[in-house]
Amino acid sequence: MRSPSGTVLPTLGSNMSVKVHPVALFSICDGFIRRNEKQDRIIGTLLGTTTDGIVEVKNCYIVPHNESSEQVAIDIAHHKTMFELHQRVAPAEVVVGWFATGPALYTSDALIQEFYTKEAPNSVHLLVDTTLANGKFSITAYMPRLLALGDKALATEFIEMPCSVMFEEAEKVGLELLTSAPNTPAKPLSDAESLGGSLQRLQVLLETCYNYVDAVTSGKVRGDPQIGRYLADTLSVVPHFSKPEFERLFNESVQDTMMVTYLSNLLRTQVALAEKLGTSQLPIM
Longest dimension (CA), the chain: 86
Each residue's pLDDT tens digit, 121-165? 889 999 999 887 777 788 999 998 877 677 776 777 888 989 988
C-alpha to C-alpha distance for 3 and 245, rounded to whole angstroms:
70
Distance of CA 31 to the CA centre of its chain: 16
**Backbone torsion region of residue 200, taken as left when φ is above 0, otherwise alpha when ψ lies between -120 and 50, otherwise beta:** alpha
Residue 34 has pLDDT above 60, yes or no: yes
C-alpha to C-alpha distance for 148 and 82, rounded to whole angstroms:
34
Each residue's pLDDT tens digit, 172-227? 766 666 666 555 555 666 666 667 777 888 889 889 999 999 998 988 888 888 88
Residue 285 has pLDDT above 60, yes or no: no
Domain spans, the chain = 7-165, 192-238, 240-285
- Percentage above 70 pLDDT, the chain: 82
Q: How far, in Å, are 5, 52, 100, 223, 281 from residue 129 at the CA level?
A: 37, 28, 9, 37, 53
- Percentage above 90 pLDDT, the chain: 24
Each residue's pLDDT tens digit, 87-108? 999 999 999 999 999 888 888 8
Q: Over range 2-11, report the average pLDDT.
A: 42
The residues pairing with 51 across neighbouring beta strands, listed in sequence order, are 54
- Second-level CATH architecture of 7-165: 3-Layer(aba) Sandwich (3.40)
Angle at 41 between CA 161 and CA 164, to 5 degrees: 25
Angle at 43 between CA 40 and CA 44, to 5 degrees: 160
Predicted confidence band of residue 20 (pLDDT cuts 50, 70, 90): very high
Instruction: Report which of residues 190 and 265 the model is more confident about.
Output: 265
C-alpha to C-alpha distance for 127 and 143, rounded to whole angstroms:
11
Q: Does the reported pTM lie above 0.85?
A: no
Distance of CA 206 to the CA centre of its chain: 27
Distance of CA 157 to the CA centre of its chain: 26
**Averaged pLDDT of the chain:** 82
Each residue's pLDDT tens digit, 156-185? 788 898 998 887 766 776 666 666 655 555
**Backbone torsion region of residue 152, taken as left when φ is above 0, otherwise alpha when ψ lies between -120 and 50, otherwise beta:** beta
User: In sequence order, which residues have a C-beta less than 8 Å from that of residue 49 and are 6 or more positions away?
Assistant: 55, 56, 58, 92, 93, 94, 96
